[in-house]
Structure formats: structure tokens, C-alpha cells
């Protein structure tokens, strides 16, 4: 086999450095296909809503929103993008539509992984380190959602690709064709049509887009490049709201806030019940569902909407508007409780997203069988199942590596920016940190953070975390020589990891 690889590496179209990445891509594809064949497309509670919206598209009923009959109209609470993908798959693949959707998600996800690998190489990480970065991204939560009928997969892949393209432009330092910036903008707009929160997450992409635009030679082209990144989103938003105005008489993208923000208010009320001390319909509904939440039961967001619709005659548009206003007032009048609610979901979960192979195995089992089979759980070993000991040891080691990578991403990025100033590498690092903080921050403010919500931003944290560790190691290695980096000959990279 070694002879075969050596022979292949001598072919002009297959250099030696390409053999391992291609092998890695083949292994990744094999794992994805194998999991799909074993379990089939994963269906979750959220999948039902997307499928129902897709069916409405096929029948044409999505053009009419039943505000009077439904507290949470599925064709208004979600954007049309992902249901449209399902509808197209139903037309093309008919009964096998779910497999077609998952295969599309595989293609997008592998594209994102390839760009993550290329980005790591552009940061001058070595072959094995870059493969490790790509493997970490590919086997993170992205692997789980790729198998499922959920919008998180396409959304996460689209935003990862967009961030990698912008980062590559900065690191190359050469002006690309302006259509590349427009392509990034199209990916962001597509992400917004799949998950509406992306239009707010795009704010975090601004520093990275600005850094990419600065590679242009003239001020006019810089402004044009920056504008093209956000032009598709700027055009998509009013077009979508006007379409909804024609359907429901209100210029909204979705009414997702009627669930998300009411849930946030209820969860914050555990720290300050006076959030619902007033006499408004929202206060009444909030007091009722607060008992449900405190009892440890789920579904209180839906229950609150049902109460407002049934008892007060509010439709989804009004519920969304009134809940948003109540949420903003709560931040002004009950600030400590809202801050506690925001910080409460921030836990070890975020620390363990960089490398999570064992967690991914658990999630795949849980999502497809309803039970994670206690994989890599300490209690299994304590109960005498020594066969699980290697998995437990691997899990602890993986958690340690993941924490180190995330800590390097969060802590070393600003330190390196202050120490080295604004260079191409520090610009990308700081830009991806901003993308992460805005994305994770918006998620924490509104809903309880789940690993799948971080798929649009986690890839950058993995790349930069490993890059920062490499930078720290190289500084430690150079310290005995006390040789300034600027004295290295002919711009030779001052650090690398093989």
C-alpha cells in the first residue's frame, strides 16, 4: 500500500501533499454514508414543522397564512429556505426525498471541511495539524446535524464557507475578483433564508469583511467589496418582508420571536417573578406557564402562545410584536434577571465543542435510537463495565484538548492582536473571534444554547485555537535563541506545526 501511495504521489495531478487530505475526505464520506445507511435520515421534533411547510409549498397553501385559526402558523414562524429545499427534493426524488436532502447536506458540509483544511494550511499549520483541525470540525456537531432533517446543517455549512472565503482573501493579500465578495454575500443571504437569525449574526461578520475588503488597491474598490458582502442580505430582507406584508399585512421576516423571546422571559422569571407582575395579557400568560417551566416540563413557549391566541384573540404577528416589546422592557426594568438568564446557559458545553468525537457518537445514538447507551460515561465503568474504560479515557482526553483549543481561541487571540498589531493573521483571528462572540452571544441572549446552534461559528474557533497554540509553542521554542522574528531570513515563517 505504501508503494501505491508513493507511486500516486509522483503523478503530476496528485502531489504527495494531496494524498492524505484525499484519504481523509474519503474516510469522512465513508463515515457519513455508513451512518446514513445504518440509521437513515434522522427525524427530530423540529423536522415535522419543516416538512409541513414543504407540503404547504407543494400544495400552494403557503401563500395563505391562517392567523385566525393557528396560534403559531408554521409558514410564518420559519423562513422559507429550508422547506423549499425539502419541497424541491420531494419533486425530484419523490419518496426518497429525505435521503436527497441529507446527501445535499453532506456535499455542503464536506465543502466547508475542505475550506477549513485550506484555511489551516494558509495559517502555515503543517499537514497533520491541518488534518486534525479539519477532522475536529467534521466530527463536531456538524456531523450530527448533517444526518438530520434540520436547517442547522445547511446554515452552519454556508456560514463556515463564507467565513473561510473571507479569511482566505485576507491571508492571501491579493485582490480577488469582486464576484467572490458577492458570492460570500449570497451565502449569507441563503443562510438567512434558512435561519432568520443569520441576518443578525451577519453583524459579527463585519470586521472580517472589512479586513478582506482592505486587500483592494483603491478606496472605491474597498467600499464596493465590503458592500457586496452584505448587498444580497440587504436586498433579501426587504423583499422577504414585503412578501410577508402581502400575506399577513405586516412587514416581518418571521414570527419566531413569539416562541424564542417568550421562552427567554419565562426562563428569566425564575430569577425575578415580578417580570410577570403586571396586568397585561403577556403577564397573565407568563404567570401560567412559569409554573410549567418550574415543574421541569417542556413546551411552555408553545403553551404561552396558545393562551394569548385562545384567551385574548391575538394572532401570531401581534404576539411576536408584543413579546418583543416585553422582552426589551424586561432588559430595562429587570436587568439582573435578564443577565442571569443570558449567562446561565454558558457552561462547559461551549468548552467542549472544538473536539467532541465521543460526544458526537453519543448524539448520533441518542438522536437515532432515543438512547446514548451510556457511551463513554463514567458511571458505566463504576458499574463494572470495564469494556467502556478506553472510551471514558478517550473522552476525558478529548475534553482536555477541546478546552485547551477553546481557551487559546478566546484568550490568546486578543493577546496576540495587542502584541503583534494588525497583521493579516491577527485580522483574521480577531474577525473570527468577533463572528463567534456575536453568534454565540445572540444565541445566549435569546435561547438556551445548544451545540447545534453553534455550527455556524465553531469552525473558526477550532482553526484559530490551534493556530494560537502553535504560535505559543513557537514563541517558547524561540525564546532560548532570543532571535527576533523580524530577523528571520526572507520572510521565512517564524512558526509552524508539522
Partner residues linked to 125 by β-bridges: 497
More confident residue, 476 or 229: 229
Whose CA is closest to 439, among 191, 236, 223, 238?
A: 191
Contact indicator for 191, 155 with CB cutoff of 8 Å = yes
Contact indicator for 433, 464 with CB cutoff of 8 Å = yes
Q: What is the structure's pLDDT at 346? A: 61
| 152 CA to centre of own chain | 7
Domains contained in the chain, number? 1
Task: Please say if the pLDDT value at position 497 is more than 80.
Answer: no
Q: What's the CA angle centered on 159, arms 156 and 160, to 5 degrees?
A: 80
Q: Is 308 part of any domain?
A: no
Domain that holds residue 232: 39-250+350-491
Strands (E), 357-413: none
Task: Please say if the pLDDT value at position 308 is more than 70.
Answer: yes
- Per-residue pLDDT averaged across 315-341, rounded? 90
Contact indicator for 138, 31 with CB cutoff of 8 Å = no
Q: What is the structure's pLDDT at 145? A: 95
Q: Is 213 part of any domain?
A: yes
- Per-residue pLDDT averaged across 304-327, rounded? 91
- Band (488; pLDDT cuts 50, 70, 90): very low
Give the model confidence (pLDDT) of 143-176 as tens digits: 999 999 999 999 999 999 999 999 999 999 999 9
Whose CA is closest to 423, among 214, 178, 125, 164?
A: 214
Which residues neighbour 250 within 8 Å (Cβ) at sequence distance 6 or greater? 244, 317
Q: What is the structure's pLDDT at 425? A: 93
Task: Please say if the pLDDT value at position 300 is more than 90.
Answer: no
Partner residues linked to 148 by β-bridges: 42
Share the mean pLDDT of the chain: 87
Q: Is 243 part of any domain?
A: yes
Q: What is the structure's pLDDT at 2? A: 44
Q: How far is it, in rounded angstroms, from Cα 274 to Cα 401?
A: 43
Q: What is the structure's pLDDT at 374? A: 82
Give the model confidence (pLDDT) of 88-142 as tens digits: 999 999 999 999 999 999 999 999 999 999 999 999 999 999 999 999 999 999 9
Helix (H, G, I), strand (E, B) or coil at 296: coil
Q: What is the structure's pLDDT at 477? A: 80
Q: What is the structure's pLDDT at 301? A: 82
Q: What is the structure's pLDDT at 348? A: 58
Task: Please say if the pLDDT value at position 470 is more than 90.
Answer: yes
Q: Is 289 part of any domain?
A: no
Task: Please say if the pLDDT value at position 182 is more than 80.
Answer: yes
- Per-residue pLDDT averaged across 435-443, rounded? 80
Q: What is the structure's pLDDT at 8? A: 42
Q: What is the structure's pLDDT at 451? A: 78
Task: Please say if the pLDDT value at position 290 is more than 80.
Answer: yes
Q: What is the structure's pLDDT at 51? A: 96
Give the model confidence (pLDDT) of 224-283 as tens digits: 999 999 999 999 999 999 999 999 888 888 888 888 888 888 888 888 889 998 889 999
Q: Is 32 part of any domain?
A: no
Exposed, middle or buried: residue 7 (CB in 10 Å: 0-12, 13-18, 19+)?
exposed
Task: Please say if the pLDDT value at position 298 is more than 80.
Answer: no
C-alpha cell at 391: 472510551
Contact indicator for 472, 412 with CB cutoff of 8 Å = yes
- Per-residue pLDDT averaged across 448-462, rounded? 84
Q: Is 331 part of any domain?
A: no
Task: Please say if the pLDDT value at position 373 is more than 90.
Answer: no
Q: Is 443 part of any domain?
A: yes
Q: Is 409 part of any domain?
A: yes
More confident residue, 451 or 223: 223
Q: How many CB atoms lie within 10 A of CB 22?
A: 11
Task: Please say if the pLDDT value at position 381 is more than 90.
Answer: no
CA distance readout (Å), 298 to 224, 295, 303, 311? 48, 9, 9, 21
C-alpha cell at 297: 416540563
Amino acid at each position: 500500500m505504501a508503494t501505491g501511495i508513493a507511486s500516486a504521489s509522483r503523478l503530476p495531478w496528485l502531489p504527495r501533499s494531496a494524498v492524505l487530505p484525499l484519504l481523509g475526505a474519503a474516510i469522512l464520506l465513508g463515515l457519513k454514508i455508513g451512518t446514513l445507511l445504518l440509521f437513515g435520515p434522522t427525524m427530530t421534533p423540529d423536522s415535522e414543522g419543516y416538512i409541513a411547510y414543504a407540503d404547504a409549498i407543494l400544495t400552494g397553501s403557503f401563500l395563505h397564512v391562517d392567523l385566525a385559526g393557528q396560534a403559531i402558523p408554521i409558514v410564518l414562524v420559519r423562513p422559507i429556505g429550508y422547506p423549499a429545499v425539502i419541497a424541491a427534493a420531494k419533486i425530484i426524488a419523490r419518496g426518497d426525498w429525505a435521503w436527497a436532502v441529507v446527501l445535499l447536506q453532506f456535499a455542503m458540509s464536506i465543502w466547508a471541511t475542505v475550506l477549513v483544511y485550506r484555511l489551516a494550511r494558509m495559517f502555515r499549520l503543517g499537514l497533520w495539524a491541518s488534518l486534525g483541525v479539519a477532522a475536529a470540525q467534521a466530527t463536531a456537531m456538524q456531523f450530527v446535524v448533517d444526518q438530520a432533517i434540520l436547517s442547522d446543517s445547511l446554515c452552519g455549512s454556508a456560514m463556515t464557507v463564507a467565513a473561510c472565503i473571507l479569511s482566505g482573501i485576507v491571508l492571501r493579500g491579493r485582490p480577488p475578483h469582486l464576484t467572490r465578495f458577492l458570492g460570500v454575500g449570497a451565502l449569507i443571504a441563503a443562510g438567512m433564508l434558512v435561519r432568520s437569525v443569520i441576518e443578525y449574526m451577519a453583524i459579527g461578520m463585519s470586521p472580517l469583511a472589512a479586513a478582506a475588503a482592505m486587500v483592494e488597491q483603491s478606496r472605491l474598490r474597498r467600499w464596493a467589496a465590503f458592500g457586496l458582502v452584505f448587498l444580497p442580505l440587504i436586498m433579501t430582507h426587504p423583499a422577504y418582508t414585503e412578501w410577508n406584508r402581502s400575506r399577513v399585512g405586516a412587514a416581518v421576516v418571521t414570527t419566531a420571536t413569539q416562541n424564542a423571546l417568550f421562552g427567554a422571559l419565562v426562563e428569566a422569571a425564575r430569577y425575578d417573578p415580578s417580570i410577570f407582575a403586571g396586568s397585561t395579557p403577556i403577564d397573565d400568560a407568563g404567570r401560567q406557564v412559569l409554573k410549567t417551566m418550574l415543574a421541569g416540563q417542556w413546551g411552555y413557549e408553545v403553551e404561552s402562545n396558545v393562551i394569548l391566541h385562545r384567551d385574548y384573540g391575538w394572532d401570531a404577528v401581534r404576539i411576536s410584536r408584543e413579546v418583543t416589546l416585553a422582552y426589551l422592557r424586561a432588559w430595562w426594568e429587570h436587568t439582573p434577571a435578564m443577565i442571569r438568564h443570558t449567562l446561565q446557559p454558558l457552561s462547559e458545553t461551549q468548552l467542549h465543542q472544538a473536539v467532541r468525537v465521543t460526544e458526537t457518537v453519543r448524539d448520533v445514538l441518542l438522536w437515532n435510537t432515543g438512547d446514548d447507551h451510556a457511551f463513554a460515561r463514567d458511571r458505566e465503568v463504576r458499574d463494572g463495565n470495564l469494556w467502556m474504560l478506553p472510551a471514558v479515557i478517550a473522552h476525558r482526553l478529548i475534553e482536555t484538548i477541546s478546552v485547551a483549543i477553546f481557551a487559546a481561541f478566546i484568550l490568546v487571540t486578543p493577546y496576540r492582536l495587542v502584541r503583534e498589531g494588525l497583521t493579516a493573521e491577527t485580522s483574521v483571528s480577531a474577525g473570527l473571534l468577533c463572528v463567534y462572540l456575536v453568534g454565540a452571544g445572540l444565541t445566549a441572549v435569546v435561547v438556551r444554547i445548544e451545540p447545534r446552534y453553534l455550527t455556524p461559528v465553531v469552525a473558526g474557533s477550532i482553526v484559530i485555537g490551534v493556530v494560537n497554540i502553535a504560535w505559543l509553542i513557537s514563541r517558547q521554542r524561540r525564546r532560548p535563541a532570543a532571535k527576533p522574528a523580524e530577523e528571520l531570513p526572507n520572510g521565512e515563517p517564524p512558526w509552524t506545526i508539522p
